[in-house]
Amino acid sequence: MSSKSSSLNAPVSSRAGVALLVLGLCASALSIFQWSQLLTLRAGGATVCGVSETVNCETVWNSPFATKVHELFGIPIAGLGLVWGLVVVALSALYLARARSGRSVAPASQGLKLAALAGVLAVPMFAVVSFQAGAVCPTCLATYALVAAIAGVAWKGLPSASGEWGPALTWAVGTTVAAFIAVSLPGRSLSTPPPKAGALLPPVAASTSELSTPASLEAYLRGLPADQQQFLSNALAMYRNDTPKPAAAPARRRYGPADAPVKIVEWTDSKCPHCKSLVEELAVLKKRVPEGKLSLEARQFPLDGACNPAMQRRGPDAPSVRCVAAKAQICLEGATDYWELREKLFAAQAMLDTERVMEIASSGSVPRGQLDACMASSETAAKLQEDTSYALRYHFTGTPLVVVNGRMAMPSAPFLYALVMADGNPSAPAFDVLPPPRAMPRDDHAGHNH
């Protein structure tokens, strides 16, 4: 046995083990916080590190790389960070336990070095992703600092031994697998991706006339999952209790006929995740309902005080992506490809910045020069003010806001589909198949609080 290996059987200092235990707990806590912020973001809320367009964790968390990692492992990158932190905690506890009992600390010591090395190798990759996303993620920087501290303590403060890497690898892999299982079981239920747009809508039928009969609506409602039936019942009760308001402004751009029995007006923000979901659902809904049954107006409610006096400023005075996207959509209202370009804007939400907005908006029938001039005009500013003032009549709590025939409605594709198939009549006999409604929080009436 070498002298280095023998030294690992002698009494060793516990200070490095204690330091690593504390640092591992800090890394785990930070990952849990990041994960909770991601859940807040996916629920339509604002995060504490969404400071500006440049200093923004949301952009990094919604990047294509982060999405691919989430799809591959079933948990987000924050979940993998939690796994890593728990491995450091477990191996540190093992190190301290073996040191106290006088046994060799080699497996734990070398295992901690392997874990630290894995963290150090991962940092440059994640840093490159942040750079490519064009955003600085403050919580990511804190994670990098913790990784550096853990690596320094592990490699400088722990004893080492040659020939002990086999048992160390066994311990490191074993604790990683255990931590991953412990995190992924509840984590998958917390972060299950939303269903594909249109998943709860019926497929396109051979004859759309079949879809317009009351029996078809009743069959659709009966075929929904029990939780969706209850949700629709609750949403329907709230819709019935709302008082219709006359339109505050004429439609500037409308999909469908002006005399459609169901007239939908929706307000969105370009960076609101639930607005993206709504736009995707409406794109499917337009293809699944009989022609002439539905009209749709898209209006703007950017969540930034730089162009919306109802909101606080989210960053410096420079034009924000929210304001630029809102004005660009207004300037595209006369374009033949308006709806397609709008859907492209929301599809690119994760990587959306002001330049990307302009690239997408000018990729169709409206040239960049014409778009720039329109967006800078007082007429466009007046139209944006018209949209925000119109929305505020409904005293809603967040985007997206959906109004159907003058009443606030849940931004839910199944609910909107049911109203369309009932010709806008919330008292249609087919709705009798739904369970009795239950009370819903007022904040869930329209949109999601930002």
Q: Provide the pLDDT for residue 41.
A: 66
Q: Are residues 137 and 242 in the same domain?
A: no
Q: Are 92 and 147 in contact (CB under 8 A)?
A: no
Residue 312 lies in a domain: yes
Q: What is the structure's pLDDT at 216?
A: 82
What is the pLDDT at residue 414?
Answer: 93
Q: CATH code at 125?
A: 1.20.1440.130
The reply to whether 203 falls in a domain is no
C-alpha–C-alpha distance, residues 387 and 300, integer Å: 6
Q: Are 435 and 229 in contact (CB under 8 A)?
A: yes
Better pLDDT: 332 or 206: 332
Are 371 and 441 found together in one domain? yes
State how beta strands 448-449 and 398-399 pair. antiparallel
Structural domain count of the chain: 2
Q: Which two tokens stand for residue 106?
A: 């080699």
Residue 95 pLDDT exceeds 70: yes
Residues 6+ apart with CB under 8 A from 412: 231, 232, 235
| pLDDT above 60 (res 222) | yes
Task: Provide the domain limits for residue 31.
Answer: 3-190
The residue among 190, 222, 254 that closes a domain is 190
Q: What is the pLDDT of residue 27?
A: 95
Co-location of 185 and 234 in the same domain: no
User: Pick from 143, 164, 190: which residue ends a domain?
Assistant: 190
Cβ proximity of 420 and 295 under 8 Å: no
The pLDDT value recorded for residue 75 is 85
Residue 356 has pLDDT above 70, yes or no: yes
pLDDT bracket for residue 317 (50, 70, 90): low
pLDDT at 332: 98
Give tens-digit pLDDT for 238-251.
Answer: 999 999 999 999 99
Whether residue 396 sits in one domain with residue 271:
yes
The two tokens of residue 441 are 């929080």
Residue range 108-117, pLDDT digits in tens: 888 999 999 9
Answer yes or no: are the C-beta atoms of 351 and 259 closer than 8 Å.
Answer: no
Contact 331, 366 (CB under 8 A): yes
Whether the per-residue pLDDT at 10 is higher than 60: the answer is: no
Side-chain-facing half-sphere of 88: CA atoms under 13 Å: 33
Q: What is the pLDDT of residue 49?
A: 78
d(CA 267, CA 326) in angstroms, rounded, equals 10
CATH of residue 347's domain is: 3.40.30.10
Shared domain for 384 and 435, answered yes or no, is yes
User: What sign results for the dihedral spanned by CA atoms 330, 333, 336, 340?
Assistant: positive
Residue 103 domain flag: yes
Q: Is residue 199 part of a domain?
A: no
Interval 23-48 mean pLDDT:
82
Residues 223, 368 within the same domain: yes
Q: How far apart are CA 25 and CA 20, in angstroms?
A: 8
| Residue 105 pLDDT class (50, 70, 90 cuts) | confident
pLDDT in tens, 374-428: 999 999 999 999 999 999 999 888 889 999 999 999 999 999 999 999 999 999 9
Highest mean pLDDT among 47-61, 106-120, 127-141, 420-434: 420-434
Alpha-carbon distance of 80 to 66, in angstroms, equals 11
61 token code pair: 């968390």
Q: What pLDDT score was predicted for residue 53?
A: 61
Q: Are 303 and 399 in contact (CB under 8 A)?
A: yes
SS3 category, 404: strand
CB contact at 8 A, 20 and 67: no
Q: Whole-angstrom Cα distance, residue 367 to residue 95?
A: 65
Name the nearest CA neighbour of 84 among 151, 138, 139: 151
| Mean pLDDT, range 280-302, rounded to an integer | 94
184 & 232 share domain: no
H or E segment at 207?
none
Confidence of residue 293 (pLDDT cuts 50, 70, 90): very high
What pTM was estimated for this model as a whole?
0.63
Tell whether the model's pLDDT for residue 335 goes beyond 90: yes
- Looking at the fold, whether 128 and 218 belong to one and the same domain comes out as no
Q: Are residues 155 and 217 in the same domain?
A: no
Give residue 314's pLDDT.
Answer: 60
List, in order, residues 6 or more apart from 98 with CB less than 8 Å away: 104, 105, 107, 108
